[in-house]
Amino acid sequence: MKKLEVVVVHDIFMTATCKYADIVLLASTFFEKAEIDAVSLKKYRWIQIKRRIVEPLGEAKSEAEFIMALAKKMGYQGYFPYSSEDDVLKELLKGTEVKSYPFQELEKGVLLENLVGEIRKNGFPTPSRKIELFPEILKKMKMQELSPVDFIQVKSGEYPYLLITGARVMPYYHSQFRNIEPLKRLIPEPVAEVGREISEREGISDGDFIRIKTKYGELEIKALIKSEMHPYTISIPHGWENCNANLLTANIFEPLTGAPTYRAIPCRIEPVRS
């Protein structure tokens, strides 16, 4: 980012990205803008629109307002023919199940599907109507069946343990809320959860700083010894500016699902000696 000619950030808080910005523009909070709230991975599938409750303070703008103003300034208004947030919401709802619903009804929320009831009645949406660890549809596509991780091979290699990155840590949500002092006091720093067997094997005590290495990179972090951890697994959280879990991962994707490789990463650890 330091090599870029100009960096402009549109945000609510002075985030780590803002530190690299030439210009920081104030964004609206969720109280000050309209949004669509759609839930698909819960017991119920529903959709709701939210209108702004108060007008934005000062010169703050929502993402939609910012993009429309920028498009107009650059001469691309024809591609953004919207004059209000309601116009943007209508555009986003085109082609959906609720495109013809009045906004007054959508503001209350519309239940689209009771997933629990559907599953109990009809089973899962698979050919067998059951949970398929290796779906039948993939067999028809002649996809190779996935194999469990070979712990024997991991234990005997240069990287004898398996790393999990991206663990959720209450009270934070991804990288959010780390600038709120009462929450920072609850979890003031990141820690790596390390199994008791690993700690005894590597000579690591609770609270020691350790160095975690993968073939992609390394980082230092404080250890938290957990008796209930898997004997060959280490887990670190994500979202910490001063302890970036992405240093230990790579731009590699699992070929079947397209999921990034941030689980089961072969690693090794060592104590950091002062």
Please report, in angstroms and rounded to a whole number, the separation of the first and last CA atoms in the chain: 33
> What is the model's pLDDT at position 146?
60
HSE-up of residue 3 (Cα within 13 Å, Cβ side):
0
> What is the model's pLDDT at position 155?
66
Q: How far apart are CA 270 and CA 218, in angstroms?
A: 11
Lowest mean pLDDT among 25-29, 43-47, 55-59, 112-116: 112-116
Lowest mean pLDDT among 52-66, 115-129, 191-205, 212-226: 115-129
Structural domains of the chain, ranges and CATH numbers in brackets: 8-114 (3.40.50.740), 151-271 (2.40.40.20)
Other C-beta atoms closer than 10 Å to the C-beta of 36 total 15
Report which of 219, 217, 212, 218 is spatially closest to residue 198, judged by C-alpha positions.
212
Q: What is the pTM of this model?
A: 0.73
Residues 218-249 have pLDDT tens digits of 999 999 999 988 888 999 999 898 899 999 99
Q: Are the CB atoms for 190 and 167 separated by under 8 Å? A: no
